[in-house]
Amino acid sequence: MQKLPVFFVGHGSPMNALGPNPLADTWAESTKDFPEPKAILSISAHWFTRGTYVTSNQLPPTIHDFYGFPQELFDVQYPAPGDPKLAEELSRSKDAQVIQDDSWGLDHGTWSVLRNMYPKANIPVVQLSLDATKSGEWHYEFAKSLSKLREQGVLVLGSGDLVHNLRLYDWKNQDKPHDWALDANETFKDLIQKRDWKSLSNYQKLGTAVQIAIPTPEHYFPMLYALALAEEKEEIRFYNDIIQSSVSLTSMKIN
């Protein structure tokens, strides 16, 4: 079986789910050059927990984990099936205690992207939570244990934002990135291309711009999962390399 690519997607605003728009169009186009996966494992910024959990639902609900948006967005449903067998496999991990959970579903970090990548919602989807008590290095090392899934027809998707500081978002000048956001984003891209996972995992030591860019790590950690699955000879390609004020939409495809 062909080894599937790995994605990290800067999902930005939930409104990006409602195509057509440049981001949604790019998400749709990104799946055209490889076979349809048997299942999708999503690591979303919006399931940040104490401990590591995996959705075990047969039919995971669509979670609208936001407020203040048009009703059209709350009406969106992404009725993809779950994959209890994949959840069971992940729960047997020797690298972490992964707990099966049927109280969560697919949050907007997952469905806003997948409804454009796979609009038929016919591919089973499982979400893996991010343990808020663990370090960047722990997440990177744990992610490496997921590499075998790529050979089993599972598409791994990390969904977050490299730069994500909503407190400093300038709603009147969304198209003008802050200088610190530009600096941090370029730092991340350079280190990603160098596969310098130690520096990326210890992002707190990367200077003032990065500290402002990552006030909390939940939107950043999904990138570490994607990078951990990149093999030495694989290419890392950036796309949607855009910064809106204080949020980066920069994404990457690894294959």
**Whole-Å CA distances, 37 to 40, 228, 253:** 7, 20, 15
pLDDT at residue number 111:
99
Using CA atoms, how far apart are residues 171 and 175, in angstroms rounded to an integer? 9
CATH code for the domain in which residue 183 is found: 3.40.830.10
The secondary structure of the chain in percent helix, strand, coil, rounded to multiples of 5, reads 35, 20, 45
pTM: 0.97
pLDDT digits (tens, 9 = 90+) for 219-238: 999 999 999 999 999 999 99
Residue 120 binned pLDDT confidence (cut-offs 50, 70, 90): very high
- Range(s) of the domain holding residue 112: 6-254
pLDDT at 74 > cutoff 90: yes
In a domain, 164, yes or no: yes
The total domain count for the chain is 1
In a domain, 1, yes or no: no
pLDDT digits (tens, 9 = 90+) for 136-195: 999 999 999 999 999 999 999 999 999 999 999 999 999 999 999 999 999 999 999 999
Q: Which amino acid is at 125?
A: V
